[in-house]
Structure 1
């Protein structure tokens, strides 16, 4: 897809400039394995040179199996844009309860009269068809990421709303992935519930699912000694704490808790929006931050789920799909 090619090109540019500016550090796969030996070996067999630590689970036949390389099922990680599935699950819940409608517009929730986003619907925001750009025009994410910094620092809920009021739409109705749109959706859901985004996630997903080690990583809630990932050049990155953009990618979790999330979704969700169809059945969503990459596949028909997270920007999509395959890899 054109978007994938463009993203890959931009990523390559970031990696190259980062190496030139701050210098490379060697990235190597960790020596120690944890959890199920067979699953850990499958992680090794399908890992790449640009990966260091990996944590994963499979959920099949009602049983969860964990494994890790240099990490285990209780290692805290950033799940990046997999956070967006939490946001769309909150939307599903509010629709189910009658507190909102998929055709509710931005202007129905906040004052944006005269703005291009005024009649953009919740469904358009959830499915990336709103016409909003990937990031608001004032975001310097690319530059900050080169220097291993948090690209979403200093952006508040009000900043997201102000940016939305001034945004121009392009290609509305066509799917174009937008962190900006996801952030706006989550913040609108918070206003609609007279709450904060982190509180909505806690009360409506984390608590019911028993996800005790998971939280929305705001700029102030991530501990100084919390795990950090590695940038493409091997240097440790800043934690990606987010306030305004929290609904797009701020959640920190563990493989243990993500398995609970998968079970929660299999028991409750309908996957009607916010996910991407998986060729072999079910749905997927991935995520990437400056120092982590994540992939979650859920198949509601087979009652299965597969998850992997690595502590570098190297994608784990193929690795996660390999966990689903039977037999030798």
Structure 2
């Protein structure tokens, strides 16, 4: 997640926000089979979404998952068993990329403070040196996006940005927007995590998709998680823009590590379960705050981390593409996690309801 000039989440997006139509909405709560209080919270959060919107919700509580999927159909919010349907998870992918980093660190294959530069056959512009950790926790000083990424057409903006374009940028245009970041205040960067994934691939001589399969998907039993829309086609939920028009599900090349995974509520619940394993050294490493305070949170490796005065520790990350949105929020003390996936654009004016709903369900 990131914030635009109006303090609104922009993530991987370039499109502007639109005005709310909530006041004129006449959608009916037709949810059956769920606890009444939960059904009402879900209805209030989703009633303004476009027709055919699906929202897949998973609540993991003390090792037991509960699923509360819904779909909007003919102005009714109805229960829908969609925990195995596939959605693009956008920037939530970044936590998985950092998980790979943590796995390699705990296996002594690389170190957090190692420079990535030796893994490239060319010098970076101005001999800029970059560390693995600084890419994972957004303290590298890199801009949000590279200057040679064409964003005039946002129908599928990351599909054509390949390794050759990244190399061109690193050689000729690399810059640090926050070069004097000695205090290690995080500045959210999609470029940083794309570069992290590329560097992990270089360090292990493996494609990034291969690393994802080895260290995340296979390790945690995520059998319905993928790295391209083509792989996920049969179970992929169509992407909708804020007005309910079906649009292209984004594909990724070099920016796959920053936002290209597609997954299900049930698979992400398995990933959440792993975060509660005190014996898993890699996931424990990702959850440790590594930056200064930025508002109410710090950054771990990938995770946003909030430690409250009462000892409660919450970790979370969201994700947004043009037509899908996601959030995973975990209370490490209560051993409870909430996953929400939706096939509606984050630019929808009520999309903030999804994060609020996740927080409400986490507190119950």
Q: What TM-score do the two structures reach when normalised by structure 2?
A: 0.77
Question: Is residue 215 of structure 1 aligned with residue 226 of structure 2?
Answer: yes
Closer/same/farther in 2, CA of residues 54 and 99 from structure 1, 3 Å limit: same
For 2:259 and 2:194, locate their aligned partners in 1 and report how far apart those are by CA, in whole Å: 8
Closer/same/farther in 2, CA of residues 240 and 2 from structure 1, 3 Å limit: closer
CA shift, 1:47, in A, is: 3.1
For 1:252 and 1:2, locate their aligned partners in 2 and report how far apart those are by CA, in whole Å: 20
For 1:212 and 1:28, locate their aligned partners in 2 and report how far apart those are by CA, in whole Å: 39
For 2:163 and 2:32, locate their aligned partners in 1 and report how far apart those are by CA, in whole Å: 40
Aligned to 2:363: 325
Q: What TM-score do the two structures reach when normalised by structure 1?
A: 0.85
The number of equivalent residue pairs is 313
Aligned to 1:3: 3
User: SS of the counterpart of 1:184?
Assistant: helix
Structure (1/2) with the larger helix percentage = 1
User: SS of the counterpart of 1:86?
Assistant: helix
Aligned to 2:193: 182
CA contact (8 A) 2:226 2:232 kept: no
CA shift, 1:12, in A, is: 9.6
Aligned to 2:168: 162
Unpaired runs of at least 5, structure 1: 18-25
- Write the mapping of 1:121-270 to structure 2, written as runs, cut at 5 A: 121-141=131-151, 143-145=152-154, 149-165=155-171, 166-172=173-179, 173=181, 174-217=185-228, 221-223=231-233, 226-267=236-277, 268=280, 269-270=283-284
The CA RMSD over aligned residues, in Å, is: 2.9
Aligned to 2:303: 275
Aligned to 1:310: 342
CA shift, 1:8, in A, is: 2.8
Aligned to 1:54: 55
Mean CA deviation greater in 271-280 or 126-135: 271-280
CA shift, 1:301, in A, is: 2.9
Aligned to 2:69: 68
Unpaired runs of at least 5, structure 2: 72-79, 289-300
Aligned to 1:113: 123
